[in-house]
Amino acid sequence: MTARCLRAALLLAAVPAVAAGAVTLALRTGHRRLHADRHRIELTPQPRRSCPDCWGDGGWWVDGAHPEMEACGCWANRPTWRVRLLPVPAWSAEPPF
Ligand SMILES: [Zn+2]
């Protein structure tokens, strides 16, 4: 995680759930894609443009009777980081004392 991604994730975590509301945010920074909505903040790995195997395509086609795409290890072997956002409990109408 780069410092820029960490700052963006912390900034989004600081936004109150009420203000976030129905806002969904998706950014692509560095080698991860940031997705944030009212339920979660998620950082998904992306293919690296500097990868010598796929050059940012994310994989390659494998020939054979059933051609299929093989994912490159530059993104497929990295984990997705997800933070679930819990709902804010309702405020009590009673006075605190
Ligand atoms: Zn690659």
For 12, phi then psi, to 5°, come to -70, -35
Residue 8: the pLDDT is 58
- Burial tier of 97 (Cβ tally within 10 Å: 0-12, 13-18, 19+): exposed
**Mean pLDDT across the chain:** 81
For 61, phi then psi, to 5°, come to -85, 135
Percentage of the chain lying above the pLDDT 70 cut: 76
CA of 68 to the centre of ligand 1 (A): 16
Provide the residue ranges of all domains of the chain, joining segments of one domain with +.
Answer: 3-84
CA of 75 to the centre of ligand 1 (A): 7
Distance between CA 37 and CA 26 in Å, rounded? 9
Residue 20: the pLDDT is 47
CA of 31 to the centre of ligand 1 (A): 11
What is the torsional sign of CA 12, 15, 17, 21?
negative
CA of 46 to the centre of ligand 1 (A): 9
CA of 22 to the centre of ligand 1 (A): 34
- Mean pLDDT calculated for residue range 66-74: 92
CA of 60 to the centre of ligand 1 (A): 9
CA of 73 to the centre of ligand 1 (A): 6
